[in-house]
C-alpha cells in the first residue's frame, strides 16, 4: 500500500482513516501517556473490541452517546469505537458542570452517558444522577469489551451528522454544533498539511480531548503517522517532564499556552526548556505579534498560529515557510477548498470543514447567508498574498461617541509593553460616550504596576489615535479564562466593571 498523507485525507470516514493508517504502519505509536504506548494497530484492534462491548450494551448506528472524559488513551479508544459503530457522539468538556451538562444531555437527547467516575475531586456519576441522565457508565481505566465478530459493517459514508460539539456558552446556553466525519477530516487535513510535519515528529495534546481540537489533532496523527503525548492534567512546570521524556517536537494549544512556555523559558535563559522542541503551533485566541517575536527570540523555535472555531475546526494556518511578517501579524492562509468571503468586514466561510449547522434549526438559518457561507462574527481582511488578518469580533468593537474602536488593536500594542503579562480591552457602558475603553491587565512577573497615565503615554508614543486611548485601567492577578484553550472571558470583565464608576 503506497498512500501519502494527501491521499489518506480522502478517506470517507474516520474509521476508514484508522484502518488505512493501521495497514500502513501498525507498529508505530500513535498515543503516548506516562509509561503507556498505543500503536496504530492497537488503536484499530482495541477500538473494535470496545465497539463490540458498546454494541452489547445496546449502542447502534445513530445512537446518541454523550461522553465527558479527560484527555486519556481510553477516551480516544471510546471515541473511535463509537466512530466504528456509526453512533452519534456528543463530547462534553470535563470542566462543565450541572447547568451546561444538563443542557447538552437534554438537547442532544443522549441515550448513553460515559463519565470518568470521581475525577479531580468531582463526582461525575452523582452529577449524572442529579440530571437524570440515561445509560450512565464509567469509562476511565476500564472500557466495554466484546468480540468484534458481532459488529455490523462500519459506516460506508462520512457525510451524515455523527458529532455534536458544544460552543463554550460564555454568554448564553451553548449551541450544539453538528459535524460529520468528513468535516472533521477536512479540518485536521488543513492543520496537518500547513504545519509540514513528518513521521519523525512527536506532538502533544495539552487540551481537553473533548474539545473540537481533539479529532482535529488526531486526524493529523493518522495522516502523517506520528505520535502525540497526552496530558490528562496540564500544568507547568510539572508537565515539562512528559515533554522531555517523550522528545516532543511540536507543542502549543493557544496564545495562553505560548505565554506559559515563555514564562518557563525565562526561568532559565539560554537553556532550551524542551530540548527537542522545534515548533509551537495553535489557535483559538488572538496572538499579539510580540508573543510571536518573543517565542522565536527567547525559545529559539518557530511559532505558527491559526484560526479555527467549533463550527470550523481549522480555517487558516500559518506555515513554517511563511515570512516573519506573515507569521507575526496574520492567521495564515486557508487550505484548498476553504472559501473565505469578507462581507462588510465580516469573515464568512464555505467549505467541507464547515459544520452542517446547529441542533436548533433557527440558529442554523441565522448563521448562514443566502449563498451558504457561515457568518463567523469575526472581522478581518485578506492580504495580497491571501493571508487572513483578524481585527476583532463584531461584538468586540467598542463604539465611543459614534466611532468604532477595535479592542484587538489596543490589546496588541499593550501586550508589547514589558510590564504587561496579558491584557484584555473591553467597552463599558457610559452615558456620555456610549461606551468607554477599559484595559484590564495581568502584570508581567516582577514588573512594576502600570498606571493609566503610563499606559496612555505609551500608546500615544506608539501612534494610537487619541479617540482610542483607554479611559480606565484595571489590574488583576489573573484574567478570567475558560478551561479549554484558556480564552479570556470578556463578558465576565464587563459584568465585573460595568457597575463601577471611576
Domains identified in the chain, total number? 3
The pLDDT of residue 326 is 96
The pLDDT of residue 283 is 86
Output the DSSP codes for 28-92: SEEEEETTEEEEHHHHHHHHHHHHHHHHHHT--TT-EEEE---S-HHHHHHHHHHHHHT-EEEE-
Same domain, 76 and 111: yes
Of 122, 150, 182, at which residue does a domain stop? 182
Q: How many residues does the chain have?
A: 502
Question: Out of 101-110, 179-188, 369-378, 441-450, which region has the weakest mean confidence (pLDDT)?
Answer: 441-450
Given pLDDT bands bounded at 50, 70 and 90, which one contains residue 501?
very low
Same domain, 193 and 125: no
Tell me how far apart the alpha carbons of residues 300 and 322 are, in angstroms, rounded to a whole number. Answer: 17
Predicted confidence (pLDDT) per residue in 20-74, tens digit = 999 999 999 999 999 999 999 999 999 999 999 999 999 999 999 999 999 999 9
Report if residue 337 sits inside a domain: no
Q: What is the pTM of this model?
A: 0.84
Predicted confidence (pLDDT) per residue in 354-413, tens digit = 999 999 999 999 999 999 999 999 889 999 999 999 887 777 778 787 677 888 889 989
Same domain, 174 and 287: no
Residues 6+ apart with CB under 8 A from 87: 54, 59, 60, 61, 62, 63, 64, 65, 162
Question: Do 342 and 409 meet the contact criterion of CB atoms below 8 Å apart?
Answer: no
| Residue 468 belongs to domain spanning | 401-498
Of 182, 206, 225, at which residue does a domain stop? 182
Question: Do 58 and 51 meet the contact criterion of CB atoms below 8 Å apart?
Answer: no
Residue 265 has pLDDT above 80, yes or no: yes
Question: Out of 164-173, 413-422, 433-442, which region has the weakest mean confidence (pLDDT)?
Answer: 164-173
CATH number at residue 301: 3.40.50.980
Paired with 405 in beta bridges are 398
Report if residue 374 sits inside a domain: no
Report if residue 261 sits inside a domain: yes
279 grid coordinates: 515548533
Closest CA to 18 of 154, 165, 164, 178: 154
Report if residue 379 sits inside a domain: no
Closest CA to 218 of 337, 358, 314: 314
Predicted confidence (pLDDT) per residue in 483-498, tens digit = 666 778 888 898 899 8
Same domain, 68 and 170: yes
CATH number at residue 463: 3.30.300.30
Closest CA to 65 of 143, 148, 172: 143
Output the DSSP codes for 114-175: EE-SEETTEEHHHHHHHHT-SSEEE-SS------GGGPPPPPS-S-SEEEEEE---SSSSPP
Tell me how far apart the alpha carbons of residues 253 and 260 are, in angstroms, rounded to a whole number. Answer: 11
What crossing angle do the helices spanning 213-224 and 14-24 adopt, rounded to 10°? 30
Same domain, 173 and 34: yes
Q: Which element (helix H / strand E) includes 393?
A: strand 388-393
Amino acid at each position: 500500500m503506497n498512500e501519502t498523507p494527501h491521499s489518506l485525507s480522502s478517506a470517507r470516514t474516520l474509521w476508514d482513516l484508522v484502518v488505512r493508517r493501521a495497514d500502513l504502519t501498525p507498529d508505530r505509536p500513535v498515543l503516548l501517556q506516562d509509561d503507556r504506548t498505543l500503536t496504530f494497530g492497537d488503536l484499530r484492534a482495541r477500538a473494535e473490541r470496545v465497539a463490540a462491548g458498546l454494541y452489547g450494551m445496546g449502542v447502534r448506528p445513530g445512537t446518541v452517546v454523550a461522553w465527558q472524559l479527560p484527555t486519556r488513551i481510553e477516551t480516544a479508544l471510546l471515541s473511535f469505537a463509537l466512530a466504528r459503530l456509526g453512533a452519534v457522539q456528543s463530547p462534553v468538556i470535563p470542566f462543565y458542570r450541572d447547568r451546561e451538562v444538563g443542557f447538552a444531555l437534554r438537547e442532544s437527547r443522549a441515550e448513553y452517558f460515559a463519565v470518568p467516575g470521581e475525577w479531580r475531586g468531582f463526582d461525575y456519576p452523582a452529577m449524572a444522577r442529579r440530571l437524570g441522565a440515561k445509560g450512565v457508565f464509567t469509562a476511565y481505566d476500564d472500557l466495554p469489551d466484546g468480540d468484534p465478530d458481532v459488529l455490523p459493517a462500519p459506516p460506508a459514508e462520512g457525510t451524515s451528522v455523527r458529532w455534536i460539539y458544544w460552543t463554550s456558552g460564555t454568554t448564553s446556553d451553548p449551541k450544539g454544533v453538528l459535524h460529520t466525519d468528513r468535516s472533521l477530516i477536512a479540518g485536521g487535513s488543513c492543520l496537518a498539511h500547513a504545519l509540514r510535519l513528518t513521521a519523525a515528529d512527536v506532538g502533544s495534546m495539552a487540551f481537553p480531548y473533548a474539545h473540537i481540537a481533539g479529532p482535529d489533532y488526531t486526524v493529523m496523527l493518522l495522516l502523517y503517522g506520528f505520535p502525540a503525548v497526552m496530558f490528562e492534567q496540564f500544568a507547568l512546570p510539572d508537565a515539562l517532564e512528559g515533554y522531555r521524556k517523550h522528545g516532543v517536537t511540536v507543542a502549543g494549544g493557544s496564545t495562553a499556552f505560548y505565554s506559559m512556555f515563555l514564562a518557563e523559558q525565562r526561568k532559565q535563559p539560554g537553556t532550551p526548556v524542551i530540548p527537542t522542541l522545534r515548533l509551537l503551533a495553535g489557535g483559538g485566541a488572538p496572538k499579539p505579534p510580540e508573543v510571536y517575536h518573543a517565542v522565536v527570540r527567547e525559545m529559539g523555535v518557530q511559532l505558527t498560529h491559526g484560526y479555527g472555531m467549533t463550527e470550523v475546526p481549522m480555517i487558516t494556518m500559518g506555515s513554517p515557510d511563511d515570512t516573519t511578517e506573515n507569521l507575526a501579524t496574520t492567521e495564515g492562509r486557508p487550505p484548498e477548498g476553504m472559501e473565505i468571503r469578507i462581507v462588510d468586514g465580516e469573515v464568512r466561510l464555505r467549505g467541507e470543514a464547515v459544520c452542517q449547522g446547529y441542533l436548533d434549526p433557527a440558529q442554523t438559518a441565522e448563521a448562514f447567508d443566502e449563498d451558504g457561507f457561515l457568518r463567523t462574527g469575526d472581522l478581518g481582511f485578506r492580504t495580497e498574498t491571501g493571508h487572513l488578518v483578524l481585527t476583532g469580533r463584531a461584538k468586540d468593537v467598542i463604539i465611543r461617541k459614534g466611532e468604532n474602536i477595535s479592542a484587538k488593536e489596543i490589546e496588541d500594542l499593550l501586550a508589547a509593553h514589558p510590564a504587561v503579562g496579558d491584557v484584555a480591552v473591553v467597552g463599558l457602558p457610559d452615558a456620555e460616550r456610549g461606551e468607554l475603553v477599559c484595559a484590564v491587565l495581568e502584570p508581567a512577573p516582577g514588573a512594576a504596576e502600570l498606571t493609566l497615565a503610563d499606559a496612555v503615554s505609551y500608546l500615544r508614543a506608539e501612534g494610537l489615535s487619541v479617540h482610542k486611548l483607554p479611559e480606565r485601567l484595571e489590574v488583576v492577578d489573573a484574567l478570567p479564562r475558560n478551561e479549554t484553550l484558556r480564552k479570556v472571558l470578556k463578558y465576565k470583565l464587563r459584568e465585573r466593571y460595568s457597575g463601577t464608576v471611576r
